[in-house]
Structure 1
């Protein structure tokens, strides 16, 4: 095992790793005067740049969050590496072979292999690009021309051609000193009967680069009818290529993504080319796989996605059913972004490449500009499957859209989409829509309990979590709740199983009869729950779960915690009532129904006053 990296080599790595270049691979830097560079800090959210880099001294410092250090510190922080891993990564970048103490010169086998594979892919990219002008590459040139790309465009993106011969690239690279084992391991070649044969033959080639600009793989498009392979063929996973985290065009787009706080996700290599040439330089595409979590991590780092609604991620999909399905798949990952997400769909089904050919560069820019919030697109896609001209169809559509709305984490945004959903369906009754969504969620939670007696996952909705805590207190510490809990109205709890459990507590005399709780109290609740007919098993399971699940407060502060939960629970119920009264007021014409309007207005004033008092109580109980 290699020992400690020598101090001399660490100093050499620092010397040959200009901090402005390394930092500039992750964020956009601008001249700040006095030899300094400035940009938005990648370690915390900020609206104006306070992250400073001093190339002359090799240090960075953020005046906003006080993060600072040298180039090694930056790489450690940005990539979550150990000190040695950061030094090794920078050494590889600078072409330095490290020496390790306790054994003299010990080149890292893993990093030496990576450097060789990177060199082989660079040579392969040059080989493919040079062959694009050869006579046998005419199908490839024609393919590009038909899609509106000129020779200079191909050169800009490094597009090349793989000859149809069995081993042209393999022979070329082996003549350059690379071994057959290296070519096969890197995915450039595969085993043949008489040695390595080329992985890509008779195809148009796009080099796929990582964020630093190193070629790590290739995408290849079929051109010849005799080719019985798939239309697109990509490099298989290798020590340097991982399709789940690679984005085509990221090397070209990274600076603009950071600068504009925008990323546009398209579906193919030609779409990326078309977008960049049309004036959308933030476009990237996945490489032979669907957009996933690792891709999100790459983009979040470039977007500085650490504050709500800072930037935007725009997915472009075809307008057909397959495109809609792709957009809905993207929706599953939407909330892994903090920033806003959108969908841009061309109604006539044209992808950005075809759109540019038929309607020009401006049409591509207009497509991106016409983006629609992804939540709205997902909800509308669900609604489009139902007949909204009938009551039955509208109700079914509401139930189908409920999980989409319920999955929105931000409470304010979720409320906004409740209003939109009510308007799109034409109910004009936000309270009814909210109630229906809550009922659907409750049924889903019950169905998700398998087996029925197994503990279920905690709900993520803060309001539901609050209900859970109140009921856990009622089961475990009834004396802490007393008459106030028993006096809560029937609309306080929103989940069906929570309403049922509140009924069980009331049926045995309320929390005022539970004393300090304990085994006897829980037995009474279980016995009462057993009288609930078909729901008995689920209800008894819930009582048991709440009897053993840990409270979110230490024993020393349980009394204060109980007061806080009660106040917040009551305030939440009153807040829902305020929303419902406001909705009713909006539907009443004060001229035509002055008495009813006055009555509701008075009710609203009283509810809002009650809500303020409860919020103050909740604050005081903290």
Structure 2
């Protein structure tokens, strides 16, 4: 489908402009907007894949070749493909986004490819994002008007001055039915675009009116910084709407994926390896201004699995670097319920989960206003493990002075202990729970063990299976050298050049390796290639085998088996070893065939095969000498 998109768009965006976008784009910078990347050695980077759930980083990026590949789910490609997959953009929108980022002016041609043009029709996503950007400026300007005084007072009463309001783009939806709608229509946005964006809605009479009126507005940005929605706070008593009103679900705004403040917090989250999850917009602002820059909040929905996936990628929450996830909840019953619900999600994180509850049951905004910035920082510093909080509040609901109360508390608490993902800590929590309940340790141990054994397990592996994924025998020397030669062709085609092209496809034994070798030939061979993402995509497009296409992406980022930079000698050694494996296989087959022939009755065939065997053995000796030094 990607190849078809490229072919289709080649008639609209000039081919040389697409190539220039690829050349001028830093794939590491593009991907770093959504995935925290760490060094993987050999100049490559790695992170947690945004396309499937994993606990060990298998998502690899090769800045030198401007390509990416996930060894876990098989997705891969260049920066254009990443935006298409990660942000659900069309090929056109992805190219345009990268061109704007690189400061490039794209040139277009009409369907007959004869008349160049430079003003394309923007894709839907770009139009909706542009409409939100215009709405942000409109609402910000309205915040300074006389009618917005209640909004300014609301901010001031919570400790936010003008600079804070500007930093977070706060605005005001005026007391008018269609002021924003008319403003955006004058800027060229259509009726359908404004409704689709969630900025306007049809009235009972059928006319288009503003969705938000008489409210304090917060722009909600996705991780890349684009505004995709709004949160609106009620200010007037005669407003019969909910306290907070959010943008409805739209093609660009999915509340289960959005975290308020992630655009400003992502770099500190990655740097510190921790994130603080709060409950509202003002809490995020208060934390950031109090020097807790890792705070984020959900937008009108409960914290869920999609939010976890976003945070894990930013945290680089993996077996290699477990992060800290700190929840802040009110100490009331609703807050306790939310904390217990958060513990259910604890298993989705590799890192440790904590809870921070103010002694006075104040949220971070209230705490900062009452006691200052230091109190907010202390709140986070005093965090306790979420499992401790959950156990304490669970057993406190029972009368531990009675036998029935202790036994029921044990039965309810045992599953929580059984869910602790660090198995080495479970015995300590068993002892702690027995002490808190005033019971002997043996019945608590049995209850926890029963709970652990009673949990259903389906044995599903981490991440989705990939039908048709190539599974070369990695322990086979021949398979390893086949992969190495293909990597040289994909990663270093100028260096591999004629040496690679001179070795026929018959030297490759694995059928998927044969398919990739054939695709390289169909793409023009390494002698004609300049390398980079364009070359890799050309090979991928030329490969008719699905498993081969996946392998092209995999080999494009897999490190070469050499310390330092490859040179012509290394290519020569690799190709010699490749041929040597093929030649020795043919020698073995010939010897077997000769042994089955009667040299008396089939003298001519016998001596022909024997002559071929001698020639192959001589060739094998030459290859063995050429391959001296090995991989």
Query: Taking structure 1 as the reference length, what is the TM-score of the superposition?
Result: 0.63
Would you say how many aligned residue pairs link Structure 1 and Structure 2? 437
Q: In structure 2, what is the Cα distance between the partners aligned to 1:121 and 1:417?
A: 50
**Cα gap change, 1:123/1:459 in structure 2, threshold over 3 Å: closer, same or farther?**
closer
Alpha-carbon shift at residue 116 of structure 1 (Å): 0.6
Q: Is the aligned partner of 1:198 residue 2:210?
A: yes
- The within-5 A match list for 1:409-428 is 409-427=421-439
Pick one of 122, 125, 132 that aligns with 2:133. 122
* Residues 308 and 338, structure 1, Cα contact 8 Å, conserved in 2: no
* Residues 93 and 123, structure 2, Cα contact 8 Å, conserved in 1: no
Aligned to 2:371: 359
**Cα gap change, 1:120/1:267 in structure 2, threshold over 3 Å: closer, same or farther?**
same
Alpha-carbon shift at residue 437 of structure 1 (Å): 3.0
Aligned to 2:162: 151
**Cα gap change, 1:93/1:61 in structure 2, threshold over 3 Å: closer, same or farther?**
closer
Q: In structure 1, what is the Cα distance between the partners aligned to 2:56 and 2:449?
A: 37
Alpha-carbon shift at residue 227 of structure 1 (Å): 1.0
**Cα gap change, 1:253/1:431 in structure 2, threshold over 3 Å: closer, same or farther?**
same
* Residues 249 and 284, structure 1, Cα contact 8 Å, conserved in 2: yes
**Cα gap change, 1:93/1:289 in structure 2, threshold over 3 Å: closer, same or farther?**
farther
Q: In structure 1, what is the Cα distance between the partners aligned to 2:38 and 2:409?
A: 51
Pick one of 272, 277, 280 that aligns with 1:265. 277
**Secondary structure at 1:165's aligned position in 2?**
coil
**Cα gap change, 1:80/1:322 in structure 2, threshold over 3 Å: closer, same or farther?**
same
Alpha-carbon shift at residue 165 of structure 1 (Å): 0.5
Q: In structure 2, what is the Cα distance between the partners aligned to 1:408 and 1:30?
A: 28
Q: In structure 1, what is the Cα distance between the partners aligned to 2:206 and 2:85?
A: 44
What's the CA shift string for 1:215-270, capped at 9, x where partnerless? 00000000112211001000000011011101111110111111111111100000
- The within-5 A match list for 1:419-498 is 419-427=431-439, 429-439=440-450, 458=457
**Secondary structure at 2:357's aligned position in 1?**
strand
Aligned to 1:611: none
Q: In structure 2, what is the Cα distance between the partners aligned to 1:135 and 1:373?
A: 48
Q: Is the aligned partner of 1:215 residue 2:217?
A: no
**Cα gap change, 1:82/1:303 in structure 2, threshold over 3 Å: closer, same or farther?**
closer
Q: Is the aligned partner of 1:26 residue 2:34?
A: yes
**Cα gap change, 1:37/1:156 in structure 2, threshold over 3 Å: closer, same or farther?**
farther
User: Please, what is the CA RMSD of the aligned residues?
Assistant: 4.0
Q: In structure 2, what is the Cα distance between the partners aligned to 1:431 and 1:79?
A: 56
Aligned to 1:5: 9
**Cα gap change, 1:29/1:391 in structure 2, threshold over 3 Å: closer, same or farther?**
closer
- The within-5 A match list for 1:270-289 is 270-289=282-301
Aligned to 2:600: none
**Cα gap change, 1:94/1:349 in structure 2, threshold over 3 Å: closer, same or farther?**
farther
Q: In structure 1, what is the Cα distance between the partners aligned to 2:83 and 2:314?
A: 11
Alpha-carbon shift at residue 155 of structure 1 (Å): 0.2
- The within-5 A match list for 1:67-466 is 73=78, 76=81, 88-95=93-100, 112-192=123-203, 193=205, 195-307=207-319, 310-427=322-439, 429-439=440-450, 458=457
* Residues 140 and 203, structure 1, Cα contact 8 Å, conserved in 2: yes
150-159 vs 409-418, which deviates more? 409-418
* Residues 281 and 297, structure 2, Cα contact 8 Å, conserved in 1: yes
**Cα gap change, 1:308/1:24 in structure 2, threshold over 3 Å: closer, same or farther?**
closer
Q: In structure 2, what is the Cα distance between the partners aligned to 1:333 and 1:240?
A: 26
* Residues 142 and 171, structure 2, Cα contact 8 Å, conserved in 1: yes
Q: In structure 2, what is the Cα distance between the partners aligned to 1:387 and 1:58?
A: 65
Alpha-carbon shift at residue 15 of structure 1 (Å): 4.1
Alpha-carbon shift at residue 275 of structure 1 (Å): 0.4
* Residues 72 and 87, structure 1, Cα contact 8 Å, conserved in 2: no
Alpha-carbon shift at residue 385 of structure 1 (Å): 0.4
**Cα gap change, 1:459/1:298 in structure 2, threshold over 3 Å: closer, same or farther?**
closer
Alpha-carbon shift at residue 164 of structure 1 (Å): 1.1
Q: In structure 1, what is the Cα distance between the partners aligned to 2:32 and 2:46?
A: 11
Q: Which runs of 5+ in 2 are unaligned?
A: 461-631
Aligned to 1:579: none
Q: In structure 1, what is the Cα distance between the partners aligned to 2:187 and 2:208?
A: 15
**Secondary structure at 2:198's aligned position in 1?**
coil
**Cα gap change, 1:151/1:425 in structure 2, threshold over 3 Å: closer, same or farther?**
same
**Cα gap change, 1:431/1:78 in structure 2, threshold over 3 Å: closer, same or farther?**
farther
**Cα gap change, 1:74/1:391 in structure 2, threshold over 3 Å: closer, same or farther?**
farther
Q: In structure 2, what is the Cα distance between the partners aligned to 1:219 and 1:84?
A: 24
Q: In structure 2, what is the Cα distance between the partners aligned to 1:177 and 1:120?
A: 9
Q: In structure 1, what is the Cα distance between the partners aligned to 2:107 and 2:259?
A: 30
Query: Taking structure 2 as the reference length, what is the TM-score of the superposition?
Result: 0.62
What's the CA shift string for 1:342-389, capped at 9, x where partnerless? 111112110000000001001111111111111222111211101223
**Cα gap change, 1:76/1:398 in structure 2, threshold over 3 Å: closer, same or farther?**
farther
**Secondary structure at 2:345's aligned position in 1?**
helix
Aligned to 1:503: none
Alpha-carbon shift at residue 332 of structure 1 (Å): 1.7
**Secondary structure at 1:284's aligned position in 2?**
strand
Q: In structure 2, what is the Cα distance between the partners aligned to 1:392 and 1:371?
A: 32
